[in-house]
Amino acid sequence: MLWTRLAPDPLNGGGMHRHRVEVTWQVATDPRMLDVVRVGGTIAHPGAGHAVSIRVEGLRSDTWYYYQFVAAGERSRIGRTRTFPSFSSTPPEMRFALVSCQNYEHGFFAAYRDICRQQIDFVTHVGDYIYESAANPNVPDERRHTGGKLESVDDYRNRYALYRLDPDLQNAHAGFPFLVTWDDHEVDNNYAGLIPEDNQSPQEFLRKRENAYRVYKETMPLRIDSFRRAKTRIYRRLRFGALAELFMLDCRQYRTDQPCGDGTKTLQSCPAMIDPSATMLGVHQEEWLYRNLVRSRANWNVLAQSVLMMRLDLGALLGPNPPLNLFQMDTWDGYQAARDRLTAFIAQNHVENIVVLSGDIHSSWAGELKCDFSNPDSPTAGTEIVCSGVTSKFGRVNDAEMQTIVSSNPHVRFFDGLHRGYALCTVTPHEWRTDFRAVTRAESPIFSVPAADLPLFNLASYAIRNGDPQLTQV
Ligand code: FE
Ligand code: CA
């Protein structure tokens, strides 16, 4: 999918008025656009904010291409993208960056600058691509949101435009294909299905969600046929030859409400967190996932989704001998029966090499997904890798607290809450290696807005081997 948008006044609705505009595009094998292999034309419609998404057919598999748009006498910059290996091929390697949570007001996108230096096949974004909050007057001008809290189509368009004006994010899109799914902030903090976080009426929230989904669809490089029957279905699967099957999941649109009014709860105070009727994926998506997991013949089965799946007992932070377990209701901990169904399905059907990719929590994690988290000897259904936010803050955490969290959750192999960054995954038939890339500066005061040119470094690296979900530090 190739994408562009005509927007001479990007922060104020686009500035194209009601005109329909002809757009032509070219695809070439070289960065100077000399060896053109495909050309075409389309119309940029005002109803789509003059965004166009082109599905190019007839390209060679496993190949890098360059592309350019021409409209109204203007030429776009030249972008680069690549096709996946063919279904029947056996690629020796797949390499990608896992990113999430890029609150523009929390800093510059140093992580994307580092990503642009990597030799990777694609970028996977697991949500919080934008944040919907109003401009914060305490943030320095150069990194402040424009406008109020998002509601209308134009509000969302202007916000995506603000993020896309960032040169590092722009370079990443011009350099690599993106595989995306969403989390909550693409619409509204911690929403669940049609239930908003705050006290908007269902009708008001539905209208807002439709606006948000519409602009997401306009703005993101999604294959249009994934929006079946006019519904906004974004869960889908992609195959990287025989090496990996990638399941891009939607953890927001179909979930039941967070139990007990969201927040952080104890099992004693919120027995609903083990409610068997709770669902994170919804019935159809869950069945679709199970059906395709048993069918998969891929070496690695990758579940890219937005929120932390492994259990995270924060009770130890309450004191030296915590009387209570404490869980976050917005992650899979609020939907424990749904998590148990998934891990039991994987174990019973012997689906091998499950790697879950997550974001949302603004910190780096690696851990093992147990069929019963209270029993360390229970079967391990898979491995989870969680990237830190590109910019979004985790909040205050010190080394002792980090140690406490790890030691009271034996399935957690790695946790860091001090650094922003991303996860760089290198996947071969024999090994899955994850390098946690971190922005050099440790936790900085909120709104200090760290610079875009801060170098990144390898914070830690963990690997799993084919057939063995246990993580080892490398
Ligand atoms: Fe976030
Ligand atoms: Ca989130």
CATH number at residue 10: 2.60.40.380
Q: Ligand 2 centre and the CA of 306: distance in Å?
A: 7
Average pLDDT over residues 317-344: 89
Phi-psi region of 248 (alpha: psi -120 to 50; beta: other; left: phi over 0): beta
**Ligand number with the minimum distance to the CA of 102:** 1
Average pLDDT over residues 59-75: 97
Cβ-contact 455, 109 below 8 angstroms: no
Q: How many domains does the chain fold into?
A: 2
Q: Ligand 2 centre and the CA of 126: distance in Å?
A: 9
Q: Do 77 and 126 lie in a common domain?
A: no
Q: Ligand 2 centre and the CA of 467: distance in Å?
A: 31
Report the C-alpha gap between 421 and 336 in whole angstroms.
Answer: 29
Average pLDDT over residues 401-423: 91
Q: Residues 92-117: pLDDT tens digits?
A: 999 999 999 999 999 999 999 999 99
Q: Ligand 2 centre and the CA of 197: distance in Å?
A: 12
Q: Which residues contact 216 (CB under 8 A, 6 or more apart)?
A: 156, 182, 186
Residue 286 tokens, joined: 């869950």
Q: Ligand 1 centre and the CA of 298: distance in Å?
A: 31
Average pLDDT over residues 286-292: 98
Q: Do 177 and 157 lie in a common domain?
A: yes
Q: Do 60 and 134 lie in a common domain?
A: no
Domain boundary among 83, 106, 136: 83
Average pLDDT over residues 41-57: 95
Q: Do 63 and 177 lie in a common domain?
A: no
Among the listed ranges 33-37, 183-187, 248-252, 394-398, which one has the minimum average pLDDT value? 394-398
Residue 197's pLDDT is what? 86
Q: Do 1 and 130 lie in a common domain?
A: no
Q: Ligand 2 centre and the CA of 323: distance in Å?
A: 29
* Cα–Cα distances in angstroms (integers) from residue 7 to residues 42, 47, 106, 161, 217, in the given order: 16, 13, 26, 9, 17
Q: Residues 116-152: pLDDT tens digits?
A: 999 999 999 999 999 999 999 999 898 999 999 999 9
Q: Ligand 2 centre and the CA of 359: distance in Å?
A: 8
Residue 409's pLDDT is what? 94
Domain boundary among 83, 98, 132: 83
Q: Ligand 2 centre and the CA of 304: distance in Å?
A: 14
Amino acid at 211: N
Q: Ligand 2 centre and the CA of 363: distance in Å?
A: 12
Q: Ligand 1 centre and the CA of 320: distance in Å?
A: 30
DSSP state letters, 104-163: GGG---HHHHHHTTS--SEEEE-S-SS--PPPPTTS-GGG---SSS--SHHHHHHHHHHH
Q: Ligand 2 centre and the CA of 185: distance in Å?
A: 6
Residues with CB under 5 A from ligand 2 (ion): 128, 183-184, 360
Residue 401's pLDDT is what? 83
Q: Ligand 1 centre and the CA of 303: distance in Å?
A: 18
Q: Ligand 1 centre and the CA of 129: distance in Å?
A: 8
DSSP state letters, 306-370: SS--S----GGGG-SS-SS--EETTSGGGGHHHHHHHHHHHHHTT---EEEEE-SSSSEEEEEEE
Question: Directed axis angle between helix 283-295 and helix 336-348, to 10°?
Answer: 20
Continuous H helices in 363-414: 399-407
Q: Ligand 1 centre and the CA of 307: distance in Å?
A: 9
Q: Which residues contact 302 (CB under 8 A, 6 or more apart)?
A: 244, 245, 246, 247, 355, 356, 357
Q: Do 23 and 119 lie in a common domain?
A: no
| Beta carbons within 10 angstroms of residue 470's beta carbon | 11
Residue with tokens 């890798």: 385
Which of 360, 385, 361 is closest to 469 using CA atoms? 385
Q: Do 3 and 98 lie in a common domain?
A: no
Q: Do 45 and 106 lie in a common domain?
A: no
Q: Ligand 2 centre and the CA of 127: distance in Å?
A: 7
At 412, which CATH number? 3.60.21.70
Q: Ligand 1 centre and the CA of 18: distance in Å?
A: 35
**Ligand number with the minimum distance to the CA of 183:** 2
Domain boundary among 36, 68, 83: 83
- 45 burial via Cβ count (<10 Å: 0-12, 13-18, 19+): middle
**Ligand number with the minimum distance to the CA of 392:** 1
60 is in which domain, residue-wise? 1-83
* pLDDT at 398 > cutoff 90: no
Which of 330, 316, 194 is closest to 265 using CA atoms? 330
Q: Do 374 and 433 lie in a common domain?
A: yes
**Ligand number with the minimum distance to the CA of 189:** 2
Q: Residues 217-243: pLDDT tens digits?
A: 999 988 766 555 557 899 999 999 999
Q: Do 75 and 91 lie in a common domain?
A: no
Which of 335, 304, 313, 412 is closest to 367 using CA atoms? 412
Average pLDDT over residues 187-197: 94
**Ligand number with the minimum distance to the CA of 362:** 1
**Ligand number with the minimum distance to the CA of 308:** 2
Q: Do 66 and 130 lie in a common domain?
A: no
| Beta carbons within 10 angstroms of residue 429's beta carbon | 15
Report the C-alpha gap between 269 and 361 in whole angstroms.
Answer: 23
Q: Ligand 1 centre and the CA of 47: distance in Å?
A: 29
| Beta carbons within 10 angstroms of residue 247's beta carbon | 23
The CA-based dihedral angle spanning residues 422, 97, 344, 368, taken in that order and rounded to the nearest 10 degrees: -50
**Ligand number with the minimum distance to the CA of 251:** 2
Q: Do 223 and 351 lie in a common domain?
A: yes
Q: Which residues contact 199 (CB under 8 A, 6 or more apart)?
A: none
Q: Ligand 1 centre and the CA of 345: distance in Å?
A: 29
* pLDDT at 1 > cutoff 50: yes
Residue 453's pLDDT is what? 84
**Ligand number with the minimum distance to the CA of 192:** 2
